[in-house]
Amino acid sequence: MMGFPRGDLKKLLIACARAIDEEGSSIATEAMVQELRKLVSVSGEPLQRLGAYMVEGLAARLASSTTDRVSERKKPKMKKTSIEERISHMETLHEVCRYFRSGYMSANGAIKEAVRGEAKIHIIDFHITGGSQLVGLIEDLSRREGGPPTVRITGIDDSVPTYARGSLLEEAGRRLQMVGFEFAVPLEFHAAAISVEELEGGHLAIIPGEALVVNFNLGLHRIPDDTVSTANHRDRILRLVKSLSPKVVTLVEQELDTNTGPFNQRFMETLDYYATVFESIDLTLISRDANRRPCYYYGDCFEYINQAPPNDDSTRIGIEQHCLGREVVSIVACEGAERVERHEPFNKWKVRLTMAGFTPSQLDSGRNDYIRERLQSHNCNYLCDERDGVLYLGWKDRPLVVTSAWH
């Protein structure tokens, strides 16, 4: 095809995205998508695997370029998963991509310090998913000098359809209550099965005398802002949280910008970011001991169990398809309210939080030093850099996850 670069998959993807953005649906753009389909594979090299999901997004964008909303063809061609499978895929991803898990560990360190000496704690966790982060925090609190506090958790998660929301929260609640029992931490769980857009202070059951903690865990970017709706729920939620006077607010977010800006810029940002993630998956699995696999993170401990590592194609494809692939398709294919993945880099989160009335809190530098040592022991390519009280985690020289604390 005239004007279509040959041989370089990255250049081909960018050229196709640019053509679709400029021309919409045409014989030429449809031919470009078909040509790309021959070059990508969910079981190929990292860029080929990422390319499979980016092409899916481009094809869906092309199919609906003459409509006002996302068509059924725009939705990713992925089988539906149960709540248990969804949680399992996410936790396996965090086992392999340790910058995600390390972000949780750093946030937990800030929470532990903020509630030191408090007898009663209320944790509001946005995007709780399976409660993995709080499993580690509960163990941290169980070892506290003088005994553990009484813990009440309010779980919120509208990253799944309404019909499944209650089941996800119930599963998280059961799991956390079992962990609380195991570590002798008195624990109560409240499921707030409501969309964040509908959330008000009355849904959070604030009780005077409890030390309040709010945790935003890889989910704040999914709350729509003023580019989607005049209600600007992203900033509204931050102002609501500030009005509750929490002891600490922890934020763990991916370090990329897919919220505003033209489509081509968003496409290239997505390509660059996720190419690094997919590369890290390959190199992490290759470097791992073939006879040992890390179990779930509990507190400060990385324990091991004797199992084969999750380096078979089905496991890798599972986490890439059901976690990363869904994000990529949403970013590339969708616009307006249909596009739920709207990441912002830390410098923009800092502006939002400051405008909502928050001031920065220090993370636990000792905990971050420990995280750095553990990451380096797993793979020397991991990035762990604390700057101005903020922790940047990633792969090689690319920050992928940022953890910060506020009050």
User: pLDDT of the chain along its 407 residues, tens only?
Assistant: 445 555 689 999 999 999 999 988 888 889 999 999 999 999 899 999 999 999 999 999 998 875 555 444 445 455 566 777 878 888 999 989 999 999 999 999 999 999 999 999 999 999 998 899 999 999 999 999 999 999 999 999 876 555 455 678 888 999 999 999 999 999 999 999 888 889 999 999 999 999 999 999 999 999 999 999 999 999 999 999 999 999 999 999 999 999 998 999 999 999 999 999 999 998 888 766 443 444 444 444 444 333 434 445 777 888 999 999 999 999 999 999 999 999 999 999 999 999 999 999 999 999 999 999 999 999 999 999 999 999 999 999 999 999 999 99
Could you tell me if 29 and 48 are in contact, meaning their C-beta atoms sit under 8 angstroms apart? no
- Domain extent listing, the chain: 9-77+260-338, 83-258+342-406
In three-state form (DSSP H/G/I as H, E/B as E, the rest C), the secondary structure along the chain is CCCCCCCCHHHHHHHHHHHHHHHCCCHHHHHHHHHHHCCCCCCCCHHHHHHHHHHHHHHHHHHCCCCCCCCHHHCCCCCCCCHHHHHHHHHHHHHHCHHHHHHHHHHHHHHHHHCCCCCEEEEEEECCCCCHHHHHHHHHHHCCCCCCCEEEEEEECCCCCHHHHHHHHHHHHHHHHHHHHHCCCCEEEEECCCCHHHCCHHHHCCCCCCEEEEEEECCHHHCCCCCCCCCCHHHHHHHHHHHCCCCEEEEEEECCCCCCCCHHHHHHHHHHHHHHHHHHHHHHHHHCCCCCEECCCECCECCEECCCCCCCHHHHHHHHHHHHHHHHHHHHHCCHHHCCCCCCCHHHHHHHHHHCCCCEECCCHHHHHHHHHHHHHHCCCEEEEEECCEEEEEECCEEEEEEEEEC
pLDDT at 66: 59
Could you tell me if 332 and 270 are in contact, meaning their C-beta atoms sit under 8 angstroms apart? yes
> How many CB atoms are located within 10 Å of the residue 257 CB?
18
pLDDT at 166: 64
Give the distance from CA 143 to its chain's centroid: 28
Single pTM value for the model:
0.89
Nearest to 112, CA basis, from 375, 369, 366: 366
- The CA-atom distances, in angstroms, between 174 and each of 73, 135, 179, 191 are 36, 12, 9, 11
Rounded distance, CA 26 to CA 177, Å?
55
Tokens of 11: 């250049």
Tokens of 83: 């709540």
Could you tell me if 240 and 354 are in contact, meaning their C-beta atoms sit under 8 angstroms apart? no
Rounded distance, CA 169 to CA 155, Å?
7
User: Residues for the chain: how many in total?
Assistant: 407
Could you tell me if 87 and 45 are in contact, meaning their C-beta atoms sit under 8 angstroms apart? no
Q: Which residues are CB-neighbours of 400 under 8 A, at least 6 positions away?
A: 97, 99, 254, 255, 273, 276, 277, 280, 383, 393, 394
- The CA-atom distances, in angstroms, between 313 and each of 7, 45, 70, 80, 382 are 26, 12, 31, 19, 23
Fold topology of 83-258+342-406 = Rossmann fold (3.40.50)
| Residue 13 CB-half CA count within 13 A | 28
Identity of the amino acid at 392: Y
Rounded distance, CA 153 to CA 157, Å?
13
